[in-house]
């Protein structure tokens, strides 16, 4: 006769005590354990974790009985997962609270026991994404200082049972075993060859290793990666992702499997996820969000929707990280090449303002992309923005002119094209003719004649280009400054302000 639900914990504890005393139970009693677990998986699993968190010999016998059938594995595994995911916060009704900090490790220890004896992967398939994420999360948590109780508990485990010397290495052993069951042994070997497992153990490199693991899995199993993507989408859509601490690694994995998902079904949710890291001050979150955005841009169904993120991208352009700025500009350039795009007045003005300092950036990729994007801003700005945009176009004339002398022929070419667009935008036909006929040797003189009042501003604007790594650009800046200086003869106050950089 099976025990009532209220008697299940007592039944489990009594059976564990019997086995601990080296008393062999009747076969019928072990069969009862299997049947009780089938009906009350949570009560049995949580009670046994509490009785024997280190999975001693007696507990191992009981877990082997419980998991002798794929049916009970499918029922018990979600219980163990819930404990792993909420460690070290999890506290169950079967606990007196003394050991709540070790439940996560205890659950992993049981998963290891299950994987050692599981004959087929079928019971794992439904829960494999959740299990892999929980294991990776526990590796991450183990990179933080552990409570003394956990250290004591695990020391007992590795001394008595020959397990790995620390919890994070044991969790990696379990990850490898899981991947073998999922027929992803090539992933394990690739990570071994690249010595990538060790990078999981350090908080500052953990997300890189998670991303590498995802890339290797993407090469081996698209169906598994699709399930992983769906599960991570669910996690990242929540307000708290595994207590928020694992959001960065979750994003690192998610971006690698994003192309496995059907954006017609989940594109809106992905865009909502992107909005959060784009507003973050964390460069790594920004980079991952931009990589996700570039993946979305390749999907025709998402092209229009991603335009809503343009204001967030513009705000990030002030970042000092050249690589990050180049990524943002690449995304914006991709956006603005869409057909039938028109920039609203606020967006055009904010974008034009943010691009001004980037036109003089020393990184050629940033130069090239910022000029491309500014060219598009001038072409696509709504009529209502053109009057206010004029001052930014005027400010761009000298940088674009100087970059026409760039040794990088791509930068020089796009600079001439943008300079021609700027002259037409301003309706300054004389400057337009000089660009069209490529007689730029008189461009500086013509510009100053047209706008004498800005001579001091132009002179100040040219000063930084004297430090350009490009000799032709330095020479062009010096020549222009010579011309501008003649317009300021006798204007000592203005010259002094230029020299002082004011």
Phi then psi for residue 265, to 5 deg, are -95, -35
Assessment of whether the complete model's pTM goes beyond 0.85? no
SS3 content of the chain, % helix, strand, coil (to 5): 75, 0, 25
Please check whether residue 82 lies inside any domain of the structure.
Answer: yes
Residue 145 lies in a domain: yes
**pLDDT of 395:** 93
Task: Report the CATH number that the domain containing residue 88 is assigned in CATH.
Answer: 1.25.40
* Structure confidence at residue 95 (pLDDT): 41
Residue 148 falls inside a structural domain = yes
Which of 139, 132, 213, 196 has its CA nearest to residue 170?
139
DSSP-derived 3-state class of residue 381: strand
* pLDDT at residue 118, rounded to an integer: 78
pLDDT at residue 415, as a whole number = 94
What is the spatial distance between Cα 286 and Cα 17, in angstroms, rounded to a whole number? 54
Query: Cα angle at 294 between 250 and 133, to 5 degrees?
Result: 15
Please state, in angstroms and rounded to a whole number, the distance separating the CA atoms of residues 417 and 330.
18
Q: 76 lies in a domain?
A: yes
Q: Are 482 and 470 in contact (CB under 8 A)?
A: no
Average pLDDT, the chain: 84
Question: 158-162, 194-198, 422-426 — which is least confidently predicted?
Answer: 158-162
State both tokens at 111: 């998963």
Determine the average pLDDT of the residues in 215-220.
93
On whether residue 149 sits in a domain, the answer given is yes
- The domain tally of the chain equals 1
The answer to whether the beta carbons of residues 100 and 88 sit under 8 Å apart is: yes
What pLDDT score was predicted for residue 502? 46
Which tokens hold the place of 46? 């949580």
* 381: phi then psi, degrees, rounded to nearest 5: -60, 135
- R_g of the chain, CA atoms, integer Å: 32
Spatial contact of 198 and 216, defined as CB atoms under 8 Å apart: no
Over residues 279-299, mean pLDDT: 87
* The three-state (H, E, C) secondary structure of 269-293, written as one string: HHHHHHHHHHCCCCHHHHHHHHHHH
pLDDT at res. 370: 95
* CB contact burial 317-352 (16+ within 10 A = b; e otherwise): beeeeeebbbbbbbbbbebbeeeeeebebebbbbbb
- 467-481 confidence digits (pLDDT tens): 888 899 999 998 988
3-state secondary structure 423-452: HHHHCCHHHHHHHHCCCHHHHHHHHHHHCH
Range of the domain at 96: 1-182
pLDDT in tens, 85-118: 775 444 444 444 445 567 788 888 889 888 888 7
Q: Look-up: residue for tokens 């609203």? A: 344
Consecutive H or E run containing 205: none
451 found inside a domain: no
- Domain-embedded: residue 432: no
**143 in any annotated domain:** yes
Reported as type and span, the H/E element at residue 115 is helix 103-117
Taking Cα atoms as reference points, which of 54, 63, 69 lies closest to residue 15? 63
Q: Give dist(CA 110, CA 406) in Å, integer.
A: 64
For the chain, the distance separating the N- and C-terminal CA atoms, rounded to the nearest angstrom, is: 91
Rounded to 10 degrees, what is the CA torsion of 451, 454, 459, 464?
A: -110
Contact residues for 457 (Cβ-Cβ < 8 A; gap 6+)? none
pLDDT computed for residue 416 by the predictor: 94
Give the tokens for residue 151.
């250290």
Using alpha carbons, select from 484, 486, 466, 461 the residue that is nearest to residue 476: 466
Q: Determine the pLDDT at residue 426.
A: 92
3 state DSSP class of 343: strand
Q: Which of 83-87, 146-150, 218-222 has the lowest mean pLDDT?
A: 146-150
449-466 per-position pLDDT tens digit: 887 778 888 888 888 898
CA-closest candidate to residue 33, choices 13, 56, 52: 13
């Amino acid at each position: 006769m099976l025990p009532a639900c209220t008697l299940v914990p007592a039944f489990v504890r009594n059976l564990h005590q019997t086995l601990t005393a080296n008393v062999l139970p009747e076969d019928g009693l072990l069969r009862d354990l299997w049947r009780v677990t089938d009906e009350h998986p949570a009560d049995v699993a949580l009670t046994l974790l509490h009785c024997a968190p280190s999975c001693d010999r007696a507990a191992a016998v009981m877990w082997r009985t419980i998991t002798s059938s794929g049916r009970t594995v499918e029922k018990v595994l979600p219980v163990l997962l819930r404990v792993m995911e909420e460690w070290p916060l999890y506290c169950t009704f079967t606990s007196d609270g003394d050991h709540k900090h070790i439940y996560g490790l205890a659950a992993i220890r049981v998963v290891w026991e299950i994987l050692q004896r599981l004959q087929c992967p079928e019971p794992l398939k439904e829960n494999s994404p959740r299990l892999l994420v929980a294991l990776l999360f526990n590796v991450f948590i183990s990179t933080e200082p552990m409570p003394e109780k956990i250290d004591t508990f695990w020391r007992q485990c590795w001394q008595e049972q020959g397990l790995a010397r620390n919890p994070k290495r044991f969790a990696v052993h379990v990850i490898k075993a899981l991947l073998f069951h999922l027929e992803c042994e090539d992933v394990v070997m690739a990570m071994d060859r690249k010595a990538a497992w060790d990078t999981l153990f350090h908080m500052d490199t953990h997300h890189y290793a998670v991303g590498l693991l995802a890339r290797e899995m993407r090469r081996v199993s698209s169906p598994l990666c699709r399930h992983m993507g769906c599960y991570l989408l669910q996690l990242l859509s929540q307000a708290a992702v595994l207590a928020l601490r694992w959001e960065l690694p979750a994003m690192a994995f998610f971006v690698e499997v994003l192309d496995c998902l059907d954006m017609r079904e989940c594109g809106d949710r992905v865009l909502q996820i992107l909005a959060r890291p784009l507003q973050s001050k964390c460069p790594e979150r920004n980079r991952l969000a931009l990589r996700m955005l570039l993946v979305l841009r390749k999907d025709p169904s998402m092209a229009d929707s991603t335009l809503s993120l343009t204001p967030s991208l513009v705000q990030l352009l002030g970042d000092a990280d050249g690589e990050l700025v180049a990524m943002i500009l690449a995304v914006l350039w991709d956006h603005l090449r869409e057909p039938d795009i028109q920039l609203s007045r606020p967006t055009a003005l904010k974008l034009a303002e943010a691009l001004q300092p980037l036109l003089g950036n020393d990184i050629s990729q940033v130069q090239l992309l910022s000029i491309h994007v500014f060219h598009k801003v001038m072409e696509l700005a709504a009529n209502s923005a053109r009057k206010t945009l004029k001052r930014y176009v005027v400010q761009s004339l000298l940088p674009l002119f100087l970059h026409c002398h760039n040794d990088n022929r791509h930068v020089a070419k796009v600079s001439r094209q943008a300079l021609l667009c700027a002259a037409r935008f301003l309706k300054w036909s004389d400057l337009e003719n000089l660009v069209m006929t490529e007689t730029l040797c008189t461009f500086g003189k013509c510009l100053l004649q047209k706008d004498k009042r800005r001579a001091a501003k132009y002179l100040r604007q040219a000063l930084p280009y004297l430090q350009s790594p490009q000799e032709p650009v330095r020479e062009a800046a010096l020549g222009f400054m010579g011309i501008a200086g003649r317009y300021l003869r006798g204007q000592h106050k203005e010259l002094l302000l230029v020299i002082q950089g004011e």
